[in-house]
Chains A and B, each alone.
Chain A
Amino acid sequence: MSDTSVSRHIDTAATTGGRVIVLAGGLSHERDVSLRSGGRVVDALLDTGLEATLRDADAGLVGALAADPGATVFPVLHGASGEDGAIRAVLELLGVHYVGSRPGACRLAFDKAIAKSVVARAGLRTPEALPLASATFRDLGAPALLDALVDRLGLPLVVKPNSGGSALGTSVVRDRDELPAAMVGAYAYADVVLVEQFVTGTEVAVSVVDTGQGPIALPAVEIEADGGIYDYAARYTAGRTEFFAPARLEPEIAEVVAESAVIAHRALGLRDLSRTDMIVDAAGVPWFLEVNVSPGMTETSLTPQAVRAGGLDLGQVCWDLVHAAAGRPGD
C-alpha cells in the first residue's frame, strides 16, 4: 500500500467513523448475486485499509445503523428495495451517508420504461417498447394485444420484467407462439412487463463513476455470450461469455457510446456510480436498454472489468466513492 493511500485511509476513517457498511442480500430475486457483489466490495475496501463489513438488509438494519451513526453505507443491493430507491430513502431518513444515487433518481432508473423515456428526451436512441401490466392483457384480451405488439415491434422481440436485473425472467422471442410463455415467465418476476423491439448489434455496458469531479465513463465492455443470449447462466458462469474490455469499437463510436452513458447518468439524475447497457447497431448508433444504479460487482460482472480496463483499481474506486459520500453534506 502506498503512503498516499495510507494517509487517505486515515482521512476517510476520521470522516466516516472508520466503518463502511456494505449492504447486500435483501429479499429480492437477486439476493445471491448481491451477496457475491457485496463480498467483492468488502474485500476491495479492506484491501485499501478501510474497515468494511457486509450486512444484510434485514429487520435489524435500522437499529444497527442508528447505533452506528458515523458509518458510511455502500449499498450493493440488486433488484427491488435495493435499486428502487426504498432503502436509500430509509438511509436518508436516518441521516446516513451512503454511496450511490438518491431515491428519486433510483425510482426513475429502476422503472425501465420510464428510464427509457427520460433518456430518449435527452437525445438517446432506445428501442421502442411497451410496459404492460398483466391486468391489461386480461381486460383487453391477450391474443389480440400480443398480435398488435408483434405487428408493431416485429420479431424477434425482447420480453423482460420492467424492473429488476440479472436478466431474470428475460427472453428473446423469435416466434409469435413463444410469446405467451415468455410473458408468463416475465410476470413471475414483476407486475409490469416490458415488450421491446429487438435491436441487432454489439452488446456493451458502460460504467460511469463520479467521485466528485463529474461523471466519467469507463471503457465500454463488450459482451459476446455463447449462443448469443446473455442470460443468467451466461452472466454468472465464468467462461460462458467472452468479454472485450475495452469494446471492439471504432474510437469515434466508443466516444459516442461513452457520451451516451454519461448523458443517461445525468438525465436520470444519478450519482456516484451507474452502468448503462446498450446495443451498438451496424451504423454505430448506441441504443439505450437500461441503467443500473447498483451494478453487479461479482467476479464475472461488467463494472469491475471496466474498472480494470480503465487502468484503475476496484478498491481505489470504491474507496473514492466512500470518501466522496462520507464528505458529502447530509442527503
Chain B
Amino acid sequence: MPTPPGSRLDPHHDRYAERARTMTASEIRALFAVASRPEVVSLAGGMPYLRALPLDDIAHLVQRVVAEEGTQALQYGSGQGDLALREQICTVMSRVGIAAHPDEVVVTSGSQQALDLVTRIFVDPGDVVLAEAPSYVGALGTFRSYQAEVRHVAMDQDGLVPAALREALAALAAQGRTAKMLYTVPSFHNPAGVTATPERRAEVLEICREADLLILEDDPYGLLGFDGHPPRAIRADDPDGSTVVYLGSFSKTFAPGLRVGWALAPHAVRDKLVLASEATQLCPSAFTQHIVSAYLRTQPWEEQVKVYREVYRERRDALLDALGDLMPAGSSWTSPTGGFYVWLTLPEGIDAAQMLPLAIGERVAYVPGSAFYAGPTLPDEARRSLRLSYCYPEPDRIREGVRRLATVVERELDLRATFGERGPAAAAPTAAEATGPGPDTA
C-alpha cells in the first residue's frame, strides 16, 4: 500500500520568507490570554488608563469632526500626514526642547510604524543595531523582522552607560564592522523605568557623532514625568537632525487606539520615510489625524497630560510601597520618575519566564525580562528580572498583585532551593520572539 502523504496543515509552508521562520506559537504568549480576565491582576500590559479621559467631550469632538470635516477626514490624505497636525506636533515637541519644522515631521500609524519605517530604510539584513539592555520588545521585534543583529548596551539608573557604548563600538570595529544605529528610549524607559541624565544624553550624542552613528530616539513617555518637567530630548541638542531621528506618539498622552505617532527626520530621510510609508499604507489614517488635531486644538490637552501624570504617580507610589513591604530579601527594583514601568530583579536563581505559569496560577501577570533581550544569550540578571506596569490597575489592585507575586516568588525560591536549581539553561526563552510585540507588552 502506498504511504499516504503527510500534512503540515499549511499549504504555504515552503513559501515563507526566511524572516517569517521564527514566527512561532509560544507558551508565554498563550499565558497572557489569562491576563485579560478580571480575576487576574495584570501588571503586564502597558495600557494607558483611558478612564482618565473626558470621554463625553471626545465623543462630541469626534461627532464634530465627522459633521464639519468629514469630506477630508474620511478621504485619503497626504502620505506625510496632515499639515495642521504636523504643526501641532511641533508644538508638542517644543515641550521636550525640540525646535522642529512641520516639513520634517512624518505622521505614522503609531510610533511603532515609524520604528518600522526607519528600520526599513536604514537596516539591511545582518546589520548591527545597538539597543539598551533591556530594550523595548516592540523594537526588538521590528529589528528581528528586518533580520538585524541586535547588540545590547548596558544601562544603569542614569540611563545608557557611555563607556559600554564605546566598548560596543570598539568591539564592532575590532571585527571590522560598524553599527547602523543606536536605538534608545532615554526618558522613562520601557521596560527599565529609568531616565537618562542630561550629562549622559550629551555624552551619548557626542559618542554617536564621533562614530557617525545614527541615534533613533524613541520618546513616547517624555511628557509623563511626575515632576512636570519633561526631560530635554537628545534631538533638542541636534538641531539639524544630522545624528538623531526622533519618534513620538499620542498613544500615552492621549489614546493608543487612534494609532497616531510620528517621526522627526531631516528632509532626505523624511522623503524616504514618506515613500516607505506610502508603499505600506498610502497614507496614515486621515480620520484619526483629524481627531487628534481637533483634540489638540479644542481640548486642554496639557491639562489632560497632567491628569495622566497624577494617576500614574499615585500608581507608581502604590507599586513601590507594595514592593518595599512585600518582596523578599534579595529583590531590587527601579524607581521611575515617570512613565509606566518598574524593572524588578528577583533573588538569584529565579527564572522569571519559567515562573510565569505559577504567577498566572496565582492570578497575577507580568512580562518576563527575557522578552526584552534579543538573545541568543541572556545575562543571569535578565533571566531573574521582570517588568511590572503600574499604568492600568487601581492602586489597591496593584498592592494585591504584588502580594500575589511575592507569594509566587517565595514558592519559586522554595522550589529552586529544593532542587538546588539556580536557573535553567535549556527551557528559558531567551529572545523577544517568545513574547513578541503586542498589546500585552506595549
> A: which residues have CB within 8 A of B?
25, 27-33, 35, 56, 58, 134, 137-138, 142-143, 146, 166, 168-169, 171, 178, 180-185, 187-189, 222, 224, 232-233, 235-246, 248, 299-300, 305
Contacts and interface: CB of A to CB of B under 8 A. Distances in A.
Interface stretch (B153-161, B311-319, B350-358): B350-358
A243 B357 contact: no
Given A181-B427, A182-B427, A232-B25, A241 B361 contact: no
Most buried by B among A146, A181, A188, A237: A188
A171 B30 CA distance: 18
B33 A32 contact: yes
Contact of B25 (A28, A138, A187, A237): A237
19 contacts: A27-B34, A28-B34, A31-B34, A134-B415, A137-B419, A171-B427, A180-B420, A180-B421, A188-B355, A232-B27, A236-B30, A237-B24, A238-B13, A239-B10, A239-B16, A242-B7, A244-B6, A245-B4, A246-B4
Contact of A142 (B6, B25, B29, B418): B418
A235 B23 CA distance: 14
A245 B420 contact: no
A214 to B, nearest CB: 27
A29 B34 contact: yes
Contacts of B355: 188
Given A27-B39, A239-B8, A239-B13, A185 B427 contact: yes
Nearest to A238: B10
A31 B23 CA distance: 21
A184 B33 contact: no
Given A27-B37, A182-B424, A185-B354, 18 more contacts: A27-B34, A27-B40, A29-B361, A31-B34, A32-B31, A58-B37, A142-B419, A166-B30, A169-B357, A180-B420, A181-B424, A183-B421, A185-B427, A188-B356, A189-B361, A235-B25, A245-B7, A248-B3
Nearest to A171: B427
Closest 7 CB pairs of A and B: A181-B424, A32-B33, A236-B25, A180-B419, A238-B10, A239-B13, A242-B6
A80 to B, nearest CB: 9
Given A182-B427, A233-B24, A233-B26, A142 B357 contact: no
Interface string B407-419: 0000010111011
B8 A142 contact: no
B360 A29 contact: yes
Query: Chain B interface: which size bin?
Result: 35 or more
Contacts of A33: 30
B354 A243 contact: no
A187 B7 contact: no
Contacts of B329: none
B9 interface: yes
A39 B418 CA distance: 41
A169 B27 CA distance: 9
Contacts of B425: 181
A138 B414 contact: yes
Nearest to A161: B357
Contacts of B419: 137, 142, 146, 180-181, 183-184
A130 B33 CA distance: 31
B348 to A, nearest CB: 14
A35 B33 contact: yes
B426 interface: yes
Contacts of B16: 239
Contacts of A28: 34
A155 to B, nearest CB: 15
A187 B25 CA distance: 22
Contacts of B31: 29, 32
Nearest to A30: B30
B214 to A, nearest CB: 35
A290 B10 CA distance: 27
A188 B358 contact: yes
B37 A143 contact: no
A326 B248 CA distance: 57
Contact of B4 (A25, A184, A241, A244): A244
B9 A187 contact: no
B24 A240 contact: yes
Nearest to A136: B418
Interface in B394-432: 412, 414-416, 418-421, 423-427
A56 B39 CA distance: 13
B15 to A, nearest CB: 10
A224 B9 CA distance: 13
Contacts of A222: 6
A239 B12 CA distance: 8
Among B3, B415, B425: residue with most chain A CB under 10 A: B415
Interface string B157-195: 000000000000000000000000000000000000000
B27 A178 contact: no
A224 B419 CA distance: 33
Nearest to A187: B415
B426 to A, nearest CB: 6
B227 to A, nearest CB: 40
Q: Which of A169, A187, A246 has the most CB of B within 10 A?
A: A187
- Counting chain A CB atoms within 10 Å of each CB, the highest count among B3, B33, B39, B424 belongs to B33
A188 B357 contact: yes
A180 to B, nearest CB: 4
A31 B33 contact: yes
A232 to B, nearest CB: 5
Nearest to A233: B24
B33 A224 contact: no
A243 B6 contact: yes
A242 B6 CA distance: 6
B424 A184 contact: yes
A27 B412 CA distance: 21
Given A32-B30, A238-B10, A181 B421 contact: yes
Nearest to A247: B4
Contacts of B6: 222, 224, 242-244
B25 A233 contact: yes
Contacts of A143: 420
